[in-house]
Structure 1
Amino acid sequence: MIKLFVILGSINALLAVAFGAFGSHGLKGKLSADMLSIYETGVQYHMYHAIGLVLIGILAQWAVPSTLHWAGWLMFFGIIFFSGSLYILSITGVKILGAITPIGGVLFLISWVLVAIAAIKA
């Protein structure tokens, strides 16, 4: 598990940098300021939680593995739901995708609670 979440975190950090560069260079002038701001929020949370995945992988050496296992997967799917929906929403303008974003946010919240629980139990 240590290796898996460090790898997933690293890949997601790479993707966050790539999506950030695409937003700065490829989308500037093509999206409204509001939509570009939504896209940038997706990139920010993508990177924060990519780092979180790496942290979970590292913490798994000392803390409760099953709790961190759940935390890692919830954080990973949070990235997909939260950042993914914001990327697609900002590019397509399909507003209904905004209904998916809070699901990712809840997954992020639960994953961070699980990280805290794992640290307390360690």
Structure 2
Amino acid sequence: MAQPSSSTPLLPRVGRAFPGPALLWRSGAVIAAVGIIAGAFGAHGLQRRKDITPDQIHAWETASHYAVFNGLALLLVSMHPRFSVHRFAGPAIAAGSVIFSGSIMALVMNRERFRWMGPVTPIGGSIMIAGYLALAL
């Protein structure tokens, strides 16, 4: 077995593009499933908490909707012959979705503890938008 050198990549390409359609498909499926689970939790479990306001429930619904939509979009992107191997678009949509929805959900669950995530939410949204715009270019 050959010893790795400084020019050996950490993730070998093996003729395939990274992230690749399979990873985008799995990411999309997981993000959509988390969005559905979060939506169900928001509709049933979260509304029973007395410390949760209607505005927080609305924010939770927004976060879960965005997760589902972005998960479905990643499933579609993963099937496209050109965009499924795009180095930026899919990963940006996935990362932006996780950051955007995750930060909103964290803020709803414990605003005091995760106060620092308030400014993170628009960063996630911007990354997500950049991913979609990359598909248009």
Q: TM-score range by the shorter chain?
A: 0.7 to 0.9
Q: Tell me which residue corresponds to 1:112.
A: 132
Output the TM-score relative to the length of structure 1: 0.86
**Is residue 18 of structure 1 aligned with residue 73 of structure 2?**
no
Q: Which runs of 5+ in 1 are unaligned?
A: 118-122
Which structure has more relative contact order (CA 8 Å, sep 6+)? It is 1
Aligned length: 114
Q: Deviations over 1:59-85 (max 9, x none)?
A: 1x2x2555x231111111111210000
Output the TM-score relative to the length of structure 2: 0.77
Q: Partner amino acid for 2:72?
A: I
Runs (4+) off by over 4 Å: none
Q: Tell me which residue corresponds to 2:62.
A: 41
Does structure 2 conserve the Cα–Cα contact (< 8 Å) formed by 1:42 and 1:83?
yes
Work out the percentage of aligned pairs sharing the same amino acid.
Answer: 27
Alignment of 1:56-95 (within 5 A): 56-59=77-80, 61=81, 63=82, 66=85, 68-94=86-112, 95=115
Q: State how far apart, in whole Å, the 2-side matches of 1:25 and 1:102 are.
A: 27
Q: Tell me which residue corresponds to 1:7.
A: 26
Does structure 1 conserve the Cα–Cα contact (< 8 Å) formed by 2:97 and 2:124?
yes
Does structure 1 conserve the Cα–Cα contact (< 8 Å) formed by 2:63 and 2:101?
yes
- Computing the radius of gyration from Cα coordinates, the structure with the larger value is 2
Instruction: Tell me the C-alpha RMSD between the 2 structures.
Output: 1.4
